Chain A
């Protein structure tokens, strides 16, 4: 087990180092999420409900994550580097987990900017919303990473990922908006936690079949 997490740490560190060096993904995510919130700020009427505003926050988060996910396997695709990882004697699900951890880091960085920006443009952020965002991030990154690996093998990869990801992100938006605006946020947070657990297990178990022919 320690060998497994050693491999995950080695691979995740590689992804973080690549991002620190090239800065391709996180700046784009930051710019996108702030730009989206600014657009929503001007698009929504000033007397809009909190429900509408929170809905916009979740739209911004899901699309920001999607932007990052489209780049998740770019390095591995462009020079067939996935072959190098598949040849290595590590469990293939470790590749998924490492990429999920790295994506989670990128998304959390984007949200560290996005949530205060939302508070500035719309309304304050409460604890339930933060908890909802944190739980949603886990599900988004777990499912999104395996779908990104699937999409990267296809020809129309930029088209394929949103088509695969957005339907599976609907429960996350339902749970996230519910946790943000409902009186009893616990039910929705529980729903998000259940989603995370189920889809993380499915993604973990299926990754080997996705990257192997």
Chain B
């Protein structure tokens, strides 16, 4: 599903990613590890189509609407409620039975009670849960997740463990994390940056 050869990306004179080779077949689960600034986020943004490579080649064999991306920012409008944010994305992604799907995700991620509250009143952990709802809303085939456990409390992290395990059979995963052991039972491949 993802094939990269000599993939590179520079910002001005700074080379952030250089000569990355990557093969992730459909149904695979790749964990990306490395220290801060090693290029994990850049790789994920390249795969999601938010950046264009400056060197090498990258093929992502999945349509844009089938990609779910979770980045450092939750990508939700802070002035809108949780429900309004998910409704916006649900309409743009043309999610079938949108309201039921949104309700089910909000319930599952423990946000149903806060569905009519504005996102700017949410804690960082609640925003991360809302971001996960947004990412999973259109039932994507490829999940590109950058530090998905960040800001989650123990309960939230356990919930995400269950979600990832449940999705493991139907989706392909590219996940950057500082805690690879947590994802070890699910992972089929690992890419380490120095």
A residues contacting B by CB (< 8 A) are: 3, 6-7, 10-11, 14, 17-18, 21-22, 75, 79-81, 83-90, 212-213
Contact = CB atoms under 8 A, between A and B. Distances in A.
Contact of A84 (B63, B79, B89): B89
A21 to B, nearest CB: 5
Chain B's interface: helix, strand, loop or mixed, by majority? loop
Contact of B92 (A17, A90, A212): A90
A83 B48 CA distance: 10
Going nearest first, the 6 A-B pairs with the smallest beta carbon separation are A89-B65, A84-B75, A88-B92, A10-B91, A80-B73, A213-B52
A88 B89 contact: yes
Q: Which of B49, B63, B94 has the most CB of A within 10 A?
A: B94
B67 interface: yes
A76 to B, nearest CB: 9
B44 to A, nearest CB: 11
B93 A88 contact: yes
A136 B82 CA distance: 38
A18 B77 contact: yes
Given A10-B88, A10-B92, A89 B64 contact: yes
Given A87-B49, A213-B51, A18 B73 contact: no
Given A87-B49, A88-B92, A14 B64 contact: no
A212 B77 CA distance: 21
Interface residues of B, number: 27
A204 B85 CA distance: 26
B69 A87 contact: yes
B184 to A, nearest CB: 28
Contact of A87 (B50, B76, B78): B50
Contacts of A75: 77, 79
B146 to A, nearest CB: 11
Nearest to A80: B73
A89 B93 contact: yes
A140 B52 CA distance: 31
A87 B79 contact: no
Nearest to B127: A79
B84 interface: yes
Contacts of B78: 79
Contacts of A80: 71, 73, 75
B156 interface: no
Given A81-B76, A87-B69, A89-B92, 6 more contacts: A14-B77, A21-B79, A75-B77, A79-B74, A80-B73, A81-B77
A10 B94 CA distance: 11
A86 B93 CA distance: 12
A9 to B, nearest CB: 9
Nearest to A84: B75
B93 A83 contact: no
B176 to A, nearest CB: 16
Q: Which of A3, A75, A89, A213 has the most CB of B within 10 A?
A: A89
A17 B57 CA distance: 41
Interface in B68-109: 69, 71, 73-80, 84, 88-89, 91-94
12 contacts: A7-B92, A10-B91, A14-B77, A22-B79, A75-B79, A79-B75, A79-B78, A80-B73, A83-B69, A83-B75, A84-B89, A89-B94
Contacts of B50: 83, 86-87
A22 B120 CA distance: 12
A75 B69 CA distance: 19
